[in-house]
Structure 1
Amino acid sequence: MVFKVAAIQMCSGVDAAANAEAMDRLVREAAGHGATYIQTPEMTGAMQRDRVALRAMLKGEHDDLIVRRASALAATLGIHLHVGSTAIGLGEGKIANRGFLFGPDGSKICHYDKIHMFDVDLDNGESFRESSAYSAGDTAVMADLPFGKLGFAICYDVRFPDLFRRQAMAGAELMSVPAAFTQQTGEAHWEILLRARAIENGMFVIAAAQGGRHEDGRTTYGHSMIIDPWGKILGEAGGEGEAIVLAEIDTTVVSTTRAKIPNLKNGRAFTLAELPRASGDFAA
């Protein structure tokens, strides 16, 4: 099936209402270009590194401004709208980094909680402890939609290929990777990771990203991308600011690509042989 998709690049600030307005404007523009599946980036609702301020603005899923606005937008425009993620209060101080997919009638099809937490110390002095604020998800999600089977990942999940492989083996033809990649890691790894996940699984990858200098002081890499199963970049945004990346997708390309390189079928179970430690004495 041939259809048009859009990856929305944003530079979300700390004000959820302003971010909701930006999302609304960009989604309407993308739909005006014919996109019927539209994806926004990770943390569409707010980029807020101050944990106290973040918790103060949290709402439950049914009261969240971004969730309500996205549901109404999907219904108004008759599209599948995928909010890459937003922070959702779970009660008792817990937070989910949660993505939402809404159908053309505005109903929620599913949600996905980011599984892998970004807990890293970069050599440029930046340090992140996502697990200090967010509760990790424990369930992979795949939606069977009229235009194809869509798998879900968020940002740091892209570094864990088994998440993608298991969904590909279950029939996923498209994979979503909304993100807020840091500038340093994005420059080094963003494109190559996305293309690798597309190539090794023979699937389309749609990755809407945050891009630019945010109000909370962070800088994200941008470069939202749509990639085909052969690893070709069908569309890419720049590194800073808002953008709409559009591409036509033909899901029959998935089956033809997987027929050419049938690695999903050719995989085999194996054991790992652990050899005894060598003595290191190679003297004659």
Structure 2
Amino acid sequence: MQQVLNLSDLEIIERVHARGGKFRYYPLLSGKDGTAGNFFLQLSYTYSDFDSPRHRHNFDQVRVQLEGDADFSRDGVMKPGMVGYFPEGVFYGPQSIPGESITLVLQFGGASRSGYLSEAEFQRGIAELKETGTFERGVYKVAKPEGGTRNQDAYEAVWEHMNQRELRYPESRYDKPVFMRPDAAAWIPDPTARGVARKHLGTYSEAHTRLSQLALDAGAELPVPPNTIVFVLQGSGSTASGHWQARSSLYSGDGPSSMHAEHATQLIQIELPRL
């Protein structure tokens, strides 16, 4: 494994967010800045004051709802255990949080090869744009000389500022986000790995982003493909790079890897797009 991170070794961060409300998170895994396949994985904590207008992105997202509800208005409500795929170019929301929510959020460059703006660049863009305007409830506002404000989606404003060009959204391949209920899917034994069962949640876009939930018996060995992210829901075990446990995150890197389960384990596996 190229990266193995245990949540117990990290500190939670509270940071400025382009949307409204308190936002705390654990930064987990990240890809290579400036590449079409760049990504950022975080464990996000949001609260009842969170406020995000209906918007879209030029990158893909996968969300795993761990605790609490996340309400996306007309698109539906993500409840604990659900997995969501939010395709590039597709509008979603507005989003609100009825109470408190813990969500695994993966943002990554999609099939259009538009890439993904790194977290460090995004935060720098917010700080620089605050010199000429304000961020309010997911909208960037700049005062106009004649009165009133010029309003723009917050992420869009930051992206255009950092890239110094207009953000052109890719044509949407889907009509809306895809919400999945893994609990309703059947476990299918993996014919190539003893003690491993899979719930295939879908393969998305022509770049083959593949989502699965896996169950490993104690003692099972799981082959992990290249360019794949794994998040452990429960259980513990080891790789050649170190031990993992519940809420650990792993990234295989450019080559294949493997995980050994010391106890019964369930995990989410995300095979990133082939770009």
Larger proportion of helix: 1
- TM-score (ref. length: structure 2): 0.33
Larger proportion of strand: 2
- TM-score (ref. length: structure 1): 0.32
